[in-house]
Amino acid sequence: MGFGRTRHRSSLPFLALLAAGACLAAQAPAPFDSTRAYTHVRDQVALGPRPAGSPANARLREYIVRTLAQSGYKAVEQPFEASTPIGRVKMANIIATLPGERADRIVIASHFDTKPIDEFRFVGANDGGSSTGALLELARVLKARPKPRFTLEFLFFDGEEAWGEWRDPNHTYGSRHYVAAARSAGTLASLRALILLDMIGDRGLNLRRDTNSTPWLTDIIWATAKRLGHGAHFLDEPFPVEDDHIPFLRAGVPAVDLIDLDYADWHQAGDTLDKVSARSLQIVGDVVLAALPEIEARLNK
């Protein structure tokens, strides 16, 4: 009997350790999984070229909505018709919302269309497959974490690319429509910040500080990258970029663009799946997740 009591008593610390371990596991935030993100890039590329208004673009929208549903979101499409150099084109943005403790919103966004190119087959693995894959994974991860302070909106833009030359207003159709619709609906005031992802999968990841982006947002993300040991990929070199964040900036919304334009296959036939690195997706995903609490704290002042 004495042996039995000793054995029972000695098991208590072990059981306590098990309970503590289970508690810590339950509290650990869901991590960004670059394998999942890369799979989303692969699935997009398998659809072929996906310019706005094309059947493949419509199939990708179905894929995005279905993937978001698997993560627990009820995504909504925002259809519109844009006047382009080839005539009127039907497009649609996709929006998924994660309610926070307050209604004010932080938007994380990517465009999902590929540039319309007739001369060769352009599948846009990096542009915009990489950012769309990462955004789908960020939505999954953040859904599995504790309720955020701010409402998070995952926004997938259609029609970022231009037909032919990038010249106003032949680009950023989806983001311009979104901002115009928000202004009409009176919801711009609750839109507190935009984090835009674009071309983030390059194996030689080099993200430069966009001079059009809001400085304090850029500072937080770049400081976070350095803290996580990724400073070599977030360069302190200034570089002006025109992208889907510009309509938000013009509307007075703080915005930052994470984009790697140091990419030899930009708008080339070589922008294929083998050029995309899961490690690059992991780096950007980890930095965005780690920067969000500080962005929330800055907005909460």
Active site members? 160, 198
How is residue 73 written in tokens?
Answer: 């979101």
- Residue 62 burial by CB count (10 A; 0-12/13-18/19+): exposed, middle or buried? exposed
* Cβ 128 vs Cβ 113: under 8 Å: yes
Q: Which residue has the tokens 């013009």?
A: 250
Q: Backbone phi, then psi, for 199, in 5-degree steps?
A: 55, 65
Q: CB-side exposure of 119: number of CA atoms within 13 Å?
A: 6
* Number of Cβ atoms within 10 Å of the Cβ of 147: 11
